[in-house]
Amino acid sequence: MSQPAFPSHIMQGFVETLSMEIGHETLRAVLSKAGLPKEWALASHFLGLDDVRVAQAYATLQSAIRIYYGRGARGILIRIGAKLWQSLLDDSRLGVKAQAALIRGLPKSLRRKPALELLARILGAGNGSGNGDITVHTLDLDLLLVDQASPTALNQTDETPICFVTFGLIRECLYWADGQVYDIEERACRAMGAHQCEFIITIGG
């Protein structure tokens, strides 16, 4: 498995959305309490970093948010993931936009898996091997998204799943696809010692 990487432009969007969600001054307070560089409050700071270093910062910043907010961090990070989805589409390259247009042209019942594969393509853009670390599978009527690299969980240890931003991205991606809200569960997480992070999306009744 390749070393976790994360596209710098998505990190920029994450920081911008985080700053809007909790306020710029609060973000600076989070960084200060965690002993992190104050420059991390500026999305432009990450523009010059390689994708491996960005992945490390992505995991570290989310850890600081979880420590600062405790249980409240889950809702905050899920909302940020949901808000990120549309901006990722808007800022994507022509190939991704073309793929998105094709998906929206399908019957609603056929959009879910291709939409998740589009999300995997976008999130895997920082990895030199393409999006092979993020895959989508069919489980009878349900769907499974597997993230083998999971930059969120990089060097993290927890008793419960922590990939809340990815959770929010999946939820909003599916809502964009067919206008429905699905039950999503992160049933395995690298932070808990699993080999990969797994999100099961319940489609069947």
pLDDT digits (tens, 9 = 90+) for 65-80: 999 999 999 999 999 9
Instruction: Record the tokens describing residue 166, joined without a space.
Output: 């990815």
Answer yes or no: is 3 within a domain.
Answer: no
SS (H, E, C) 8-75: HHHHHHHHHHHHHHHCHHHHHHHHHHHCCCHHHHCHHHHHHCCHHHHHHHHHHHHHHHHHHHCCHHHH
pLDDT at 108: 94
CATH number at residue 40: 3.90.1520.10
With cut-offs at 50, 70 and 90, classify the pLDDT of residue 5: confident
Distance CA 121, CA 56 (A): 20
pLDDT at 130: 46
Report helix, strand or coil for 174: helix
Whether the per-residue pLDDT at 198 is higher than 60: the answer is yes
Answer yes or no: is 113 within a domain.
Answer: yes
Is the pTM above the cut of 0.85? Answer: yes
What is the domain range of residue 137?
A: 8-202
The number of domains in the chain is 1
Answer yes or no: is 110 within a domain.
Answer: yes
Whether the per-residue pLDDT at 27 is higher than 60: the answer is yes
Give the rounded percent of residues in the chain with a pLDDT score beyond 90: 85
Answer yes or no: is 30 within a domain.
Answer: yes
